[in-house]
Amino acid sequence: MSAASTQITLASDLSSRTANDGTRPELRTVSTGLLDIGYEISGPATGRPVILLHGWPDDVRTWDRVLAPLHATGLRTIVPYLRGFGSTRFRNKETFRSGQLSALGRDVLDLADAIGLEHYSVVGHDWGARAAYIASFLAPERITHCAALSVGWGTNNPDQILSLRQVHNYWYHWYIALDRGADLVRNDRLNFTRYIWQIWNPSWSISDEEFAATAASFMNADWAEIVLHSYRVRWGLAASDSAYDDIEHQLAQGSEIRVPTLVIHGGADPCNHLSTSEGKEQFFTSSYRRIVLDGAGHFPQRDAAGPVAEALIAFLSGT
């Protein structure tokens, strides 16, 4: 299916969605200093909490296939919409619409504070993986486990050396830096993101229905500006938000993560090449493991849900 011919009907299907274990996620909203964060919560009421963080271009539906196994092992899942996605809203129209990764990491900690979590695990994919890493770096005394899908730590520095293969993979970063790329994000976001899904999942045919269930979240009024700022600021092509200067300074001073960490990477990921998550052991002072899922693309929690759930359960069940 070409992007030009894509026809999409947007729909919100939470009313009929379950976690495949008979548990219907409950949609809630909680307020932090900056945001009204929409999140879904499900699983055993007294279960150990785990925050599941989606990436781009994606939303909370990305975790649907792994919820039931996590619940069966006694985990309570909290699945928020990131800033600029779905039902999450900024509380003040004057707030800088920052897509900085440090802002996403801070949002995780603010969410946990707002819903009263003292100790919890974090699992993230793509943007969510970067947020999970940063939150774990900032609050190792509260976060018990960190699992990151499709992203290696230490890949946020704008001065990093990229292989030509990864330069090629980041074509959308460079295009978004242009005015015509910004126009695509703002005015043709559905065809753009549908095309991204298609090329990032080379061995999996994604239905229009599944895409539409997530793409509804891209209609958030702040989505385009968050996306544009996130990819531009990473390469020094946009002004940063001074509200996160302290976090940026901490990250620049040292990047060791003291939380047990698991990395899961699809062996056929066309977005982040496998080499981008290799050789990261030196950044972790607690246990660290990396798993490669042969044949999986950039969304392993969708196209290899069974192995992902199995790996997460084994990891999150450890001490």
> What is the pLDDT confidence band of residue 10, given thresholds at 50, 70 and 90?
very low
Rounded Cα distance between 237 and 137, Å, is 25
Burial of 210 from C-beta contacts in 10 A (0-12 / 13-18 / 19+): middle
218-250 pLDDT per residue, tens: 999 999 999 999 999 999 999 999 999 999 999
DSSP letter assigned to residue 244? G
**Verdict on whether the full-model pTM lies above 0.85:** yes
Adjacent-strand bridge partners of 146: 122, 261
The pLDDT of residue 4 is above 50: no
B/e letters for 134-147, b = 16+ CB within 10 Å, e = fewer, are bbbbbbbebbbbbb
What was the pLDDT predicted at 319? Answer: 59
Rounded Cα distance between 263 and 151, Å, is 8
50-75 pLDDT per residue, tens: 999 999 999 999 999 999 999 999 99
Rounded Cα distance between 305 and 269, Å, is 15
In degrees, to the nearest 5, what angle opens at C-alpha 125 toward C-alphas 120 and 130?
75
Mean pLDDT of 287-294: 97
Helix-strand-coil percent breakdown of the chain, rounded to 5? 45, 15, 40
Rounded Cα distance between 108 and 15, Å, is 26
> What is the pLDDT confidence band of residue 3, given thresholds at 50, 70 and 90?
very low
Mean pLDDT of 34-48: 97
**Phi and psi based region of residue 115 (left: phi greater than 0; alpha: psi -120 to 50; beta: remaining):** alpha
What is the CATH code for 13-316? 3.40.50.1820
62-110 pLDDT per residue, tens: 999 999 999 999 999 999 999 999 999 999 999 999 999 999 999 999 9
